Amino acid sequence: MIVFDWKLLPGSVFFAVLLLAGIAVPGAMAAETIIGKPAPGFTAVDSTGRVHRLSDYSGKRVILEWTNHDCPFVGKHYRSGNMQQTQKSAKEDGVVWLSVISSAPGLQGHVSGDEADALTKSRNAHPAAVLLDPDGKLGRLYRARVTPHMYIIDKDGTLAYKGAIDSIASGDTADIPDATNYVLQAMTQLKAGQPVKESATRPYGCTVKYGS
């Protein structure tokens, strides 16, 4: 048996192979989304046909959650209720939670508006809206790499957090109680007027299924 050492590949080739294989690259961070700088403005349509603009939520905190219901890492957090509880906590604090689906037509995770609404209902999820991004414009704007990939925008429109939902990069629901929920942690610190200590973490999950 021949054992191939992936480490022998040049860096750029290694990452290209990972992406083609559908393997998430945890360290791929957003170039345009800089902590402490204004979050990129956007206009997007939700599952009901309503138009949302980031500017609509001026003065409010906003959470963007990239999701794909067929991704096992997303499934981990929804099956356990962890994502729903995080959404509920955000809603109670007046935070606007926007779930984003950037899967292209024909690819894993792509859904219609009706299907997105059915998923929200069946999982007892609590987003303010589900934004449909089949052309990937919003996902690419934020350089969302995986599902779930989380972003928190502060009341002044600056990016306060980007990265993973929690600290244990696995698909096992048993790990959730031992993990630090970075989103809840960041919201608690922002609510207290404190800086977010872990403001940029490595996201983990399935690669976002962008089209060509």
Question: Helices 82-92 and 182-191 meet at what angle, rounded to 10?
Answer: 10
Residue 178 pLDDT exceeds 70: yes
Sequence-distant (6+) residues with CB within 8 A of 42 are 53, 54, 137, 138, 141
Q: Which of 23, 12, 94 is nearest to 59 (CA)?
A: 94
Query: Does 19 score more than 60 pLDDT?
Result: no
Using CB atoms within 10 Å of the CB of residue 130, give its burial: 0 to 12 exposed, 13 to 18 middle, 19+ buried: buried
20 burial type by CB count under 10 A (0-12 exposed, 13-18 middle, 19+ buried): exposed
Q: What is the pLDDT of residues 50-87, one digit of tens each?
A: 999 999 999 999 999 999 999 999 999 999 999 999 99
Distance of CA 178 to the CA centre of its chain: 21
Q: Which residue has the tokens 């956007």?
A: 42
pTM (2 d.p.)? 0.85
pLDDT tens per residue, range 84-112? 999 999 999 999 999 999 999 999 999 99
Query: In which band, very low, low, confident or very high, does the pLDDT at 212 lie, cut at 50, 70 and 90?
Result: confident
Write a three-state SS string for 128-141: CEEEECCCCHHHHH
What is the 3 state secondary structure string of 90-135? HHHCCCEEEEEECCCCCCCCCCCHHHHHHHHHHCCCCCCEEEECCC
Can you list the domains of the chain with their CATH numbers? 28-207 (3.40.30.10)
Contact 150, 182 (CB under 8 A): yes
